[in-house]
Chain A
Amino acid sequence: DIQLTQSPSFLSASVGDRVIITCRASQGISTYLAWYQQKPGKAPKLLIYAASTLQSGVPSRFSGSGSGTEFTLTISSLHPEDFATYYCQQLNSYPPFPFGPGTKVDIK
């Protein structure tokens, strides 16, 4: 099975900062990757799928890129409501559907 890793595990940032989170796959997965945001005590929320397609209703300050084994989620200018944990997930037509371990974005 494919394993996903994320870096960093934790980052401290300020409002207005540009934030980049990386997800790496143990094997090439083309652009079959999604990103989710989870705030404490809440369910995750789909942000991006197919590596770079923004889910409807998600602010344009979020963007995704990458293919193969390396992917990035970029927040162009951090808003107060963006402090959360972010997970990548491998997409496939057949299980399993693994998640990365998560990146927590905290207030500096």
Chain B
Amino acid sequence: QVQLVESGGGVVQPGRSLRLSCAASGFSISSYGMHWVRQAPGKGLEWVAIISYDGGDKHYADSVKGRFTISRDNSQNTLYLQMNSLRAEDTAVYYCAKSPGPSNSSGYYYSLFDVWGQGTLVSVSS
């Protein structure tokens, strides 16, 4: 069945880096935009980043711009999030999510999240 599985979370000190992975199965990510969404403990959902089907278009939330990088390897059916200069406020469960659209040419479908992973916890603490 269609599934997304995140990995790479853990405890990290402020200022350090971490890379998250999201492995897809049951479908090919090469036709779809992919997102990262996070949720701080006890808080609501925050969109983090999106990458188009071919990796040619990337966008970030202001809160992570310049520190986080989204990327993808369609041959490995895997999405990544490189997180640098981590801060305490980056502590959250990070979800990867599939868009039903490939890029912003698909209109509002690009911003939908129709398949989600189970999430991986990132804790930034000294």
Contacts and interface: CB of A to CB of B under 8 A. Distances in A.
B61 interface: yes
A95 B47 contact: yes
Interface residues of B, number: 26
Interface stretch (B10-18, B72-80, B100-108): B100-108
Interface residues of A, number: 27
Interface string B29-51: 00000010100000011110010
Contacts of A46: 112-114
Contacts, number: 67
Nearest to B118: A43
Interface of B: 35, 37, 44-47, 50, 59-62, 95, 104-108, 110-114, 116-119
Interface of A: 32, 34, 36, 38, 42-46, 49-50, 55, 87, 89-102
B111 A97 contact: yes
